[in-house]
């Protein structure tokens, strides 16, 4: 790693939320330097956004296709692009940069359909480019520790999984009042047909699959829209069946009054259970069957996966931005390895990629199909 990676960004200009989070995450471990961007399709906003970020005006673009072509042609062009646009643009933007030979870090959900996702996965493989997906919560040390414990058999055979992701920020029709974040997230043309399901339901789905090390084989879903006039779902309930006999339940809601960002995972096995709460991310609870509950903390977790994702000594909290930065750091280490013709570092193999993105799209499509069929049990491809 002889230099910082040159980073570009598509989306994330003035008024955007997640773009700023990506920029902070990229800077935290000092692996990246933001040098170019198509921060908006509006020329005035793009220029103003680039100026705020001290970008060279010559590397501020209004068209992502022009950016991909121009940066690929430069001797000092970007190594990797961060895609922080509404969902409808994820696939076309990622395609343009992959075809130009540029690595990709993309917001979730991956695309608008399984077909789009599978095409991206095939293209990334063909081009031998890293395609990281920012499932932030998989970057927490204690989530990675939980995954290691399950894989090591510490909880025994899986019996029941319960995951909930509850927010209240869309409990009122914010989209009608001009809220930019609510506006695109409730617009099927930009967000896709899945509202809450695609926005935070995919996070809950991925967290459960990441920790348990397996995907359900079938589901039965019910989607609800509680806010009158809203064009997408804002509350989701899903039953899960696993091939080995385990069962599960997933709830995602953006209309749960009083909740801020309550992402909680409970995993029950034949020997023990695990509980993780995103709002207290430095702690993992382990309870053996018939034994005393143990509070495991980030600073003293013994596993390699947790240690790799820690930055500060025990007793000093790490949170959302650090977890987000872990995605960026693992992606950087993989990009350097690929560029050097070396194997991917073992410590980075917890990175969520386009493969998990395709699995998330299959979850979305199966949930929509189940709902349309009256919550019928639906197999996952």
CA-to-CA distance for 213 and 33, rounded, in angstroms?
34
Contact between 38 and 61 (Cβ < 8 Å): yes
CA 28 to chain centre: 18
pLDDT in tens, the chain (381 residues): 689 999 999 999 998 889 999 999 999 999 999 999 999 999 999 999 999 999 999 999 999 999 999 999 999 999 999 999 999 999 999 999 999 999 999 999 999 999 999 999 999 999 999 999 999 999 999 999 999 999 999 999 999 999 999 999 999 999 999 899 999 999 999 999 999 999 999 999 999 999 999 999 999 999 999 999 999 999 999 999 999 999 999 999 999 999 999 999 999 999 999 999 999 999 999 999 999 999 999 988 889 999 999 999 999 999 999 999 999 999 999 999 999 999 999 999 999 999 999 999 999 999 999 999 999 999 997
> Is residue 128 left, alpha or beta, with left meaning phi > 0 and alpha meaning psi from -120 to 50?
left
CA nearest neighbour of 224 among 211, 212, 234, 214: 234
pTM of the model: 0.96
Q: Which CATH superfamily is domain 5-129 in?
A: NAD(P)-binding Rossmann-like Domain (3.40.50.720)
Residue 46: both structure tokens together: 């793009």
Domain residue limits, the chain: 5-129, 141-312+359-379
Thinking of the domain 141-312+359-379, which architecture would CATH place it in?
A: 2-Layer Sandwich (3.30)
**Residue 164: C-alpha distances to residues 172, 205, 278, 279, 315 (Å):** 21, 9, 11, 12, 27
Three-state DSSP state, 84: strand
CA-to-CA distance for 355 and 352, rounded, in angstroms?
8
Residue with tokens 């409970």: 266
């Amino acid at each position: 790693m002889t230099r910082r990676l040159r980073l570009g960004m598509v989306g994330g200009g003035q008024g955007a939320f997640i773009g700023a989070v990506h920029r902070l995450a990229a800077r935290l471990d000092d692996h990246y330097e933001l040098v170019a961007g198509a921060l908006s399709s509006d020329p005035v906003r793009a220029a103003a956004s680039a100026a705020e970020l001290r970008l060279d005006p010559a590397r501020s673009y209004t068209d992502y296709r022009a950016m991909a072509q121009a940066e690929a042609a430069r001797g000092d062009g970007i190594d990797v692009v961060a895609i922080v646009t509404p969902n409808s643009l994820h696939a076309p933007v990622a395609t343009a940069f992959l075809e130009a030979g540029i690595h990709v870090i993309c917001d979730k959900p991956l695309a608008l359909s399984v077909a789009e996702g599978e095409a991206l996965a095939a293209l990334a493989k063909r081009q031998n480019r890293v395609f990281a997906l920012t499932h932030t919560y998989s970057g927490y040390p204690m989530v990675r520790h939980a995954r290691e414990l399950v894989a090591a058999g510490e909880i025994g055979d899986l019996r029941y999984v319960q995951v909930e992701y509850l927010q209240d920020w869309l409990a009122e029709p914010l989209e009608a009042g001009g809220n930019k974040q609510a506006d695109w997230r409730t617009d099927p043309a930009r967000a896709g047909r899945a509202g809450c399901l695609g926005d935070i339901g995919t996070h809950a789905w991925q967290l459960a699959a990441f920790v348990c090390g397996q995907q359900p084989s079938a589901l039965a879903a019910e989607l609800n829209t509680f806010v009158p006039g809203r064009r997408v779902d804002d509350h989701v309930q899903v039953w899960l069946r696993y091939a080995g006999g385990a069962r599960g339940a997933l709830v995602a809601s953006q209309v749960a009054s009083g909740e801020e960002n309550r992402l909680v995972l409970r995993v029950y096995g034949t020997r023990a259970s695990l509980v993780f709460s995103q709002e207290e991310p430095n702690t993992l609870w382990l309870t053996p069957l018939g034994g005393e509950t143990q509070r495991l903390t980030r600073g003293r977790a013994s596993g390699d996966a947790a240690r790799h994702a820690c930055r500060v000594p025990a007793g000093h909290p790490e949170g959302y931005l650090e977890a987000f930065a872990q995605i960026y750091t693992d992606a950087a280490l993989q990009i350097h390895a690929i560029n050097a013709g070396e194997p991917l570092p073992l410590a980075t193999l917890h990175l969520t990629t386009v493969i998990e993105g395709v699995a998330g799209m299959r979850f979305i499509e199966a949930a929509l199909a189940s709902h349309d069929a009256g919550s019928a049990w639906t197999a996952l491809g």
